[in-house]
Structure 1
């Protein structure tokens, strides 16, 4: 290459670099809202409905945030409790992945109860048994086994409705020890009548133990028979008010897997931003769960654990520019089941591996340098004092997945933490290799779980 060619090459290189460096960042408007106040519940129990169907291939139910059951707490107190639960939740998920959970404990060992940290953030109301008795149930994408509290109680926590009595249901049926259904449990047991026992212990010390059975569940006017569930006589840890848990995980005993033939292995939810809308969130099962505007990324499989929904995150952009230092290798799910990124409905704040978080945080700080910084708050180390303002411009944030990009609304990453105008960047770092995409970042999207197609989709403005 001659001297003239070299000069031209470096001139073009300098022009290219200076152009990319001078490219203006992309911004969007954040309309400032206060911390949400608890919204009152308005349920119409389907016990008043006479028409019931057990052949419908689609069902839709309302979801409510657990704060709806806290009428006397201030928004600040509720937010503080939410962050406490979040820390416990992340610890539980990480321990499940990295083998520190007690979920596989055999029945001969004693169960040591820990603090009742509370599981799940969203719940619905459904009927259990025949005739249906209506109760609140937590919905959780990070759990598989469906279970309810049952009488007689050896130990039950307080719930809003009467504890379910299986002797008063015409559709309740115990499962025998030798059945295929019983063998699907991670840790099955037997009583002296050769009937199946189940046990689920969570990483925070909460647990449920009792008889494994099948029962009919009624969602509004849609009846779903023969759902395998745990009838728990010894329980601790679910939040006060809810009777049990509807596991929406990917495992073989979760509700979506059990009802795969009827609902096509598809469900979706849309979680509203409670600071901006009084509408309830919703969950849909069946073909109508798949939004036509959804953008999909393939589901990945953890060879060690089938409960969680893993996706391929390849990078993140701030202000329209890819963040240097955030590479696919930081989110890789390896052959031993370590690392990776999961979508979780029960985690609030998205956790990223520490190097990825630091790179993202620094890029956002640089892009938001025009905003007045505020003190750190709880797990948030990037906060702003926006008091006296009604709207501000913030750099855009886009999450890049395998096959698609998801552009977050400003309210999904800069959130109020008090009623005085303090807002914080709603991501956090984790020393665990597991990254978790939480429900704050999912707000307003219809998140589609297509187990049959082995993919997850995101449809913006999906709560309409």
Structure 2
């Protein structure tokens, strides 16, 4: 892709879902440390930022972060709770419950797709599928960018997702469209909109391509919950601030059903051929990274970066694993977990392997909040954590959390350390990445959950505060502590 125009800045806003808490610890790569301190803060009160085009980097005065000589693009990250309009009647507890509900739907969609790729789900002719998952209410990653579509650019909110490939948005005329925050995009008013022919490789890369009587490619994507989007497959220009990326393949949806309310569409950052990161990979060296700050730090946003500077020297890296049955997800090897300085008995590499049918494995997913471990691994981890926290006052279970504590009246607590032992990379988690507040009264829960599927998902609570690097050029994923600065 060519970059049009002078070097300029992109201050696009992304929104991630995860949980807020402050922490005072020293992160170590060793599993020998037994305990660390957790500063106890309850769920923060909802707050809404006042956004406009200039603040979000979409206006004419936005500054440059794209350097055509260094081939690097950096954009800001913010929490989803700051996305306007904000429900003034929302409480911290209600927002938390909604996150867990959305998370459950997303996990079900991910595991259904993985099982289908392994040949365990029957797909009839009418059962459309792809590696895109619903946004917003349907359990997306809930992080957004405000970008321009077409020429002249029309700015809209787009959901971004490392577990998705196809880029699409709602288009006029809409036979059936859900409610979105911005006017629906009209391709007839864009000089850079071009349909994709049926014999184009772009069309053949779709999971379920179609063809109209004008020999133009059609796309159709369905979801595990019955939601779907159908329309014309096309190429279009996307604008980030004052910078344009030309000829991005995307779906122009004329029939869209589901609870995608708010965003205009979805931009995938998965490993498939049609994802935004793959389409622009050569331009940015096949590298990108992000860091998730907690909501209380939203006044000082972190960033997602494409290009050589996305990879940090202080990181530890684990190899990417290829699943021949499913090319969208970022699979890694997980060999064990330590709690309180000791390896958890019963958690072995065999629990996390991708089998010959493509089932199982471990994926790093920015859109899932709570890490899901295959059930035997979760039970072993939970029991080890309970044994090390027997001095804490227990609290009732909450939703998917079966290990909760009443820490009211305390300002700090000593909690057992936790290390995820990836292949060639030990990841020591801050205490706030696994013991999280669930209300405003001092109730905290162990932020892992079991899953009946063989698929293990490393969620964004456990990724919080790390810069997570996807170095596709070297087929590896990296983690750098305190990477949000």
Residues 336, 450 of structure 1: alpha-carbon distance in 2 compared, 3 angstrom cutoff:
same
Structure 2 residue 78 is the aligned partner of structure 1 residue 64: yes
Matched with 2:38 is 30
Contact 1:105–1:187 (Cα < 8 Å) also in 2: no
Contact 2:102–2:137 (Cα < 8 Å) also in 1: no
Residues 231, 55 of structure 1: alpha-carbon distance in 2 compared, 3 angstrom cutoff:
farther
Residues 287, 238 of structure 1: alpha-carbon distance in 2 compared, 3 angstrom cutoff:
farther
Q: Secondary structure at the match of 1:263?
A: coil
Q: What are the superposed Cα offsets for residues 322-365 of structure 1, whole Å, 9 maximum, x if unpaired? A: 00110001101112101100011110000001110011001111
**Offset, 1:320:** 0.9
Question: Quick check: 96-105 or 138-147, which moved more?
Answer: 96-105
- CA distance, structure 1, for counterparts of residue 392 and residue 441 of structure 2: 16
Residues 380, 275 of structure 1: alpha-carbon distance in 2 compared, 3 angstrom cutoff:
farther
Contact 1:45–1:134 (Cα < 8 Å) also in 2: no
Contact 1:25–1:321 (Cα < 8 Å) also in 2: no
Structure 2 residue 166 is the aligned partner of structure 1 residue 132: no
Match of 1:90 among 83, 107, 111: 107
Matched with 2:183 is 162
Contact 1:375–1:383 (Cα < 8 Å) also in 2: yes
Q: What are the superposed Cα offsets for residues 59-83 of structure 1, whole Å, 9 maximum, x if unpaired? A: 1122333332333211111110100
Matched with 1:351 is 372
- CA distance, structure 1, for counterparts of residue 72 and residue 125 of structure 2: 38
Q: What are the superposed Cα offsets for residues 210-244 of structure 1, whole Å, 9 maximum, x if unpaired? A: 11001111122321111000011111235322111
Instruction: Please give the residue correspondences for 1:352-431 in structure 2 after superposition, counting only pairs within 5 Å.
Output: 352-431=373-452
Residues 147, 105 of structure 1: alpha-carbon distance in 2 compared, 3 angstrom cutoff:
farther
Matched with 1:40 is 49
Match of 2:238 among 217, 222, 232: 217
Q: What are the superposed Cα offsets for residues 31-56 of structure 1, whole Å, 9 maximum, x if unpaired? A: 11221324425333433249998956
Q: Secondary structure at the match of 1:457?
A: strand
Residues 168, 142 of structure 1: alpha-carbon distance in 2 compared, 3 angstrom cutoff:
same
Structure 2 residue 300 is the aligned partner of structure 1 residue 300: no
Q: What are the superposed Cα offsets for residues 137-184 of structure 1, whole Å, 9 maximum, x if unpaired? A: 111011100111111111111111111111111111110111111111
- CA distance, structure 1, for counterparts of residue 420 and residue 127 of structure 2: 46
> What TM-score results when the alignment is normalised by the length of structure 1?
0.90
Match of 1:447 among 468, 477, 483: 468
Contact 1:59–1:219 (Cα < 8 Å) also in 2: no
- CA distance, structure 2, for counterparts of residue 448 and residue 24 of structure 1: 26
Contact 2:341–2:418 (Cα < 8 Å) also in 1: yes
Residues 202, 410 of structure 1: alpha-carbon distance in 2 compared, 3 angstrom cutoff:
same
Q: What are the superposed Cα offsets for residues 439-458 of structure 1, whole Å, 9 maximum, x if unpaired? A: 01011111001111110001
Matched with 1:74 is 91
CA RMSD of aligned residues (A): 2.5
Matched with 2:352 is 331
**Offset, 1:87:** 0.6
Matched with 1:9 is none
Contact 1:54–1:225 (Cα < 8 Å) also in 2: no
Contact 1:35–1:275 (Cα < 8 Å) also in 2: no
Contact 1:119–1:239 (Cα < 8 Å) also in 2: no
- CA distance, structure 2, for counterparts of residue 169 and residue 323 of structure 1: 57
Q: What are the superposed Cα offsets for residues 250-297 of structure 1, whole Å, 9 maximum, x if unpaired? A: 111011111111011111111111245543342111111112221100
Contact 2:466–2:479 (Cα < 8 Å) also in 1: yes
Contact 2:370–2:461 (Cα < 8 Å) also in 1: yes
Instruction: Please give the residue correspondences for 1:62-211 in structure 2 after superposition, counting only pairs within 5 Å.
Output: 62-69=76-83, 70-72=86-88, 73-99=90-116, 106=125, 117-211=138-232
Give the gaps of 5 or more residues in structure 1: 1-22
- CA distance, structure 1, for counterparts of residue 361 and residue 331 of structure 2: 7
Matched with 2:277 is 256
Residues 205, 46 of structure 1: alpha-carbon distance in 2 compared, 3 angstrom cutoff:
same
Contact 2:373–2:456 (Cα < 8 Å) also in 1: yes
Residues paired across the two proteins, number: 440
Residues 306, 105 of structure 1: alpha-carbon distance in 2 compared, 3 angstrom cutoff:
farther
- CA distance, structure 2, for counterparts of residue 103 and residue 131 of structure 1: 44
Question: Quick check: 278-287 or 179-188, which moved more?
Answer: 278-287
Q: Secondary structure at the match of 2:199?
A: coil
Contact 2:103–2:139 (Cα < 8 Å) also in 1: no
- CA distance, structure 2, for counterparts of residue 347 and residue 414 of structure 1: 17
